[in-house]
Amino acid sequence: MYKYHCLNPISQVGLDQLDENYMVTDQADDADVILVRSAKMHDMEFGSNLKAIARAGAGVNNIPLDRCAEEGIVVFNTPGANANGVKELAIAGMLLAARDIIGGINWVQEYEEDGDIAKITEKKKKAFAGTELQGKKLGVIGLGAIGVLVANAATHLGMDVYGYDPYVSVDSAWRLSRSIHHAKTVDELYKECDYITIHVPALDDTKGMIDKNAISLMKDGVVILNLARDVLVNQEDIVDALVSGKVHCYVTDFPTKEIVGVKGAIVIPHLGASTEESEDNCAKMAAAEMRDFLENGNITHSVNYPDCDMGPKGENPRITILHKNIPNMLGQFTTLLADSGINISLMTNKSRKEYAYTIMDVDAEVPAELEEKLNAVNGVLRVRIL
Q: What tens digit of pLDDT does each residue of 324-362 get?
A: 999 999 999 999 999 999 999 999 999 999 999 999 999
Q: What tens digit of pLDDT does each residue of 362-371 get?
A: 999 999 999 9
For residues 336, 337, 338, 341, the Cα torsion angle rounded to the nearest 10 degrees is: 130
Q: Distance (Å, rounded) from C-alpha 261 to C-alpha 257?
A: 9
Q: How confident is the model at residue 218 (pLDDT cuts 50, 70, 90)?
A: very high
Bridging pattern class, strands 344-352 and 355-362: antiparallel
Q: Cβ distance 197 to 150 under 8 Å?
A: yes
First to last CA, the chain: 13
For all residues of the chain together, what is the average pLDDT?
95
For residues 112, 118, 119, 122, the Cα torsion angle rounded to the nearest 10 degrees is: 100
Q: What tens digit of pLDDT does each residue of 160-174 get?
A: 999 999 988 888 889
